[in-house]
Amino acid sequence: MTTMNDTRLGTQGPSVFPIALGCMGMGAGSWYGDSDEAESIATIHEAIERGVNVLDTGDFYSMGRNELLVGKAIRDRRDKVLLSVKFGALRGPDGAHLGYDARPAATKNALAHSLTRLGVDHIDIYRPARLDPNVPIEDTVGAIADLVKAGYVRHIALSEVGVETIRRAASVHPICDVQLEYALVSRSVEARILPVLHELGIAMTAYGVLSRGLLTGAKPTGGRDIRAHLPRFSADNAEKNDQLVDALARMAAKKGVSPAQLAIAWVRAKGVAQGVMILPTLGARTRRQLADTLSSLEVSLSQTEVAELEAAVPASQVAGTRYAAAGMATLDSER
């Protein structure tokens, strides 16, 4: 078992291992294409043995099948994990995205089904996947607060929301963390959001730390791979972004680490510099990928090295937005 000091997820949150396991890419129907369920479960078990205690999923991942997989994996390990669950995204039977529903009744209904699929009696960290533009955030957080009082939820969190929404939510109930995309080439949260998280004692759960594999040179594996539909992976943009990938590889080789290790270490170093606890959430789908991910904890960066890395891989030079226009329009964090 890896020995690492646990870190608190914000001033109001639980004690967590310094890296979380993102489960979105696991099992059948994943947005990155199908993966082997047995290997996914073995990866979750290995992560738990190595000390990882936050498992991140969503009730809409693989149309609920991801929660079923996670539930199966933790059946005899519930006391060793913290379940972080997103809700609110609506899906059609054909997999189409139909918007978001974070009304109080819908929130409580979503939780009831997540508890059933996961086979548990409570969720440790519960968050709306996006801001529902038709529902005041106070109403959504108030509904989750009712679930906290009833014992069905332990901590309330948010995802992809901006400064005003964070402040309004925190006025209703303590928020432990906000899930945001953060990577060398995705740094829009730095100017306004990170300072507010520092002020309010809220942590950040960082996803997309490797920019969905872009920073390590990964390419979409087919039409069912969500990356095939993301602007940064389109043919023209991918060719331009390869220059950033090559620059990161050179910097990693100079330090004697892998590009992934360096990119993860950068995120953790930025949290220290900004005074915000940042929990990188990495979507390892195999035990080999998990080992590579956890090895990043052995890499530390000085502020000089951070500055050199940012100069070599400038976020301003990345080609393409992180989502297509329709997806970007749902991000309160980008407003």
Q: Which residues form the catalytic set?
A: 61
* DSSP, res 225: B
The sign of the CA dihedral 43, 124, 200, 190 is positive
The whole-angstrom separation of Cα 279 and Cα 298 is 15
The sign of the CA dihedral 299, 305, 307, 309 is negative
3-state secondary structure of 282: strand
**Which tokens hold the place of 28?**
């059948």
Produce one character per residue of 266-290: b if its CB has 16 or more CB atoms within 10 Å, e if not.
Answer: bbbbbbeebebbbbbbbbbbbbeeb
CA distances from 15 to 53, 76, 80, 264 (A): 9, 21, 12, 20
Read off φ and ψ for residue 55, nearest 5 degrees.
-110, 125
Q: Which helix (H) or strand (E) holds 144?
A: helix 137-149
